[in-house]
Structure 1
Amino acid sequence: MAETAAAAAFSEGVPCWADAQLPDVEAGKRFYGELFGWTFPKTAEAAGETAGAGPVALAALDGAPVAGLTPKRDGRMPTVWTVYFATPDARALARRITAAGGGIITAPTELPGPSGDLGTAALVTDPEGAVFGLWQPAAHPGFGRRHERRTFCWAELYARDTATVDRFYGTLFHDALFGPDATPDFGRVPVSGVFAAEMPPHFLVHFGVGDCEETLGTVSRLGGRVQVPPFETSYGRVAVVTDNQGASFAVLER
C-alpha cells in the first residue's frame, strides 16, 4: 500500500495517534470537548474502527484530527487511552515484536472508512505487558496537530525492568529513538517513580496544557479526578488524571 505524503511525516516508531476506549462515547465527547475544546464533526462519526474496538469518533482541533474516542465492545476491556506507533508495514513489525519477546493482542487489521481504507491497526504488548498500538496509515495518516496545547505532546512508558524494555524498544525503533533525525515523542521511567510498585507497566498519553492547576480544576468539575498531583519532569510539569469514565491520561505544562 502506497504511503501518502502526509503519512510520510511519521517515520516508524513515532507516536502518530491516540484513542480512548470508553463505555460511553457521548459522555466522552462532552468531557473532552469542554476540557480541550475538541469538536467531533458529524462527517467523522463512524469513520472507521480501531483495533479490537468499534466505530471511532474523531476529535478535531480547528478542523485537524487530534484523537479518537471508541466505544468498548466488551465491558471486561479496560477504559484506557492507547498510543499508536507509526509503521510502513504493521504485519512485519508485529512479527518483529513477537520475535523480540512481545505479544499480539489484536492482529494487524485493515480498517474501512467511507472512502477507502483508513489504515492497518494492531494492538500489541512489550515483554512486560505494556500495551501499545501500531498504525500503518492509508487515508488517515494520524495526528493532524500535535506538540501544542490541547493536543498530544508525549507518551511515557512506566516500566519495571527498564533494561529489558530499553533493549526491546531500542531494537524495534532504533532510528526514531537514536537516528540522526530522531525527535523522540516517548520515554520511559520506573513505574515506582510515580505510581505504587504494584501498578502494571503501561504507557501514559500526555496532552499539552497552558496551566496545570487550572486544568486540574476543570477535570474535577467535569467529574474526573486527580490521580497524581503535579510533579516536575525533564520534559515539563506533569499531572496524572482520569476522565469521568476512568481513563487515565496526563496533562503536560511546558
Structure 2
Amino acid sequence: MYAEGVPCWVDAQLPDVDAGKRFYGELFGWTFETAYGASVWARLDGRPVAALAHKTDGRMPTVWTVYFATPDAEATARRIQVAGGQVVMAPFPVDGLGTAALAADPEGAVFGLWQAGSHQGFGIRHRPGAFAWAQLYARDTETANTFYGHLFHEALFGPGAEPDFGRVPVTDVFPEVMPPHFLVHFGVEDCEAAIGAVSRLGGRVTAGPFTASYGTVAVVTDNQGASFAVLER
C-alpha cells in the first residue's frame, strides 16, 4: 500500500476510450482490460499503470489526473478545506476497488485522492511506459509548498521521502495565462523518439524537450487533447 501523499494512480478522461487505447497502446506498449463501467485499465507487463475513462460530460476537460494515496479520504477532504482548498467531488466508492475524491488546491490545481480497497494503485512505476513523476505548475510555489507540506508532510519532507512530486512556477514552461495544474509524466527510454511517436500517432508537442532537475522532459498532448509529459532519465 502506498503511503499517504504519494502519487499512487493516474487516469485520463477521454471522449473516445477506444482511440485512447490505440494511441497509448502504440506509444507505451500498454494492454487493456475492462475495469469498471466504461473504464479500462492499462497494463504494462501485466501490471496496472493507469486507467482510461469515458468523459460523460462534454463540458468536462480532457485531462490526465494524478491521485494521491490516503488512508482516509473523508478526513483528507476535510483537511483540504481547512487548508484553503476545495473538494470538487466528495469521496465516493468505486466498485469495491477503493474510494476516490477530486479536490483543488488554493490556486485551483485539481488532483485526486485514492483510499485503497482491493486496488492498491500502480503495479509498476519508475520505468519506461509507467508513471514517473507529477509536476505541479503553480502561480505561487510558496503557497503550494505550504498547502501540500501541511497536507502530505511525511511524503514530501519526512525521513526517506521520495515524493515523485515537484512544484515549480507555471511560467517556467507555459505562458503566464496558463492556469495552475498538475502534469503527469510517463517514463520513456528516448525522449526524442517518444515525441516522434506522439506526432505520428496524431498528438502534438507543446513544450520541450528541456532539461529539468529530474530528467529530460517534453510536454505533449494525445490525439484527443489530453496533456501529459514524457520523461527520459
Tell me the TM-score normalised to structure 1 length.
Answer: 0.91
Partner of residue 183, structure 2: 204
User: How far apart, in 1, do the equivalents of 2:129 and 2:155 lie?
Assistant: 24
Distance 1:247 1:216 in 2: 15
Identity %: 71
After alignment, is 158-167 or 24-33 more displaced? 158-167
Structure 2 partner of 1:16: 8
* Aligned counterpart, 1:36: 28
Q: Which residue type is aligned with residue 28 of structure 1?
A: G
Amino acid at match of 2:7: P
1:196-249 CA deviation, whole Å, 9 max, x = no partner?
001000000000001111111100000000010200000000000000000000
Q: CA RMSD in A?
A: 0.7
Give the alignment partner of residue 104 of structure 1, picking from 67, 84, 87: 87
SS of 1:167's equivalent? helix
Moved over 3 A (4+): none
1:86-165 to 2 correspondences below 5 Å: 86-112=69-95, 117-165=96-144
In 2, the alpha carbon distance for the partners of 1:78 and 1:99 equals: 27
Q: Distance in 2 between matches of 1:188 and 1:147?
A: 19
Matching residue of 2:200: 221
Structure 2 distance, partners of 1:40, 1:153, is: 20
Distance 1:162 1:251 in 2: 23
Structure 2's unaligned 5+ residue stretches are none
Gaps of 5+ in 1: 1-6, 49-53
Q: Deviations over 1:90-125 (max 9, x none)?
A: 00000000000000111000111xxxx000000000
Shift of 1:181: 2.4
1:173 Cα deviation (Å)?
Answer: 0.5
Q: Determine helix, strand or coil for the equivalent of 2:197.
A: helix
Distance 1:185 1:220 in 2: 27
Q: Which residue of 2 aligns with 1:75?
A: 58
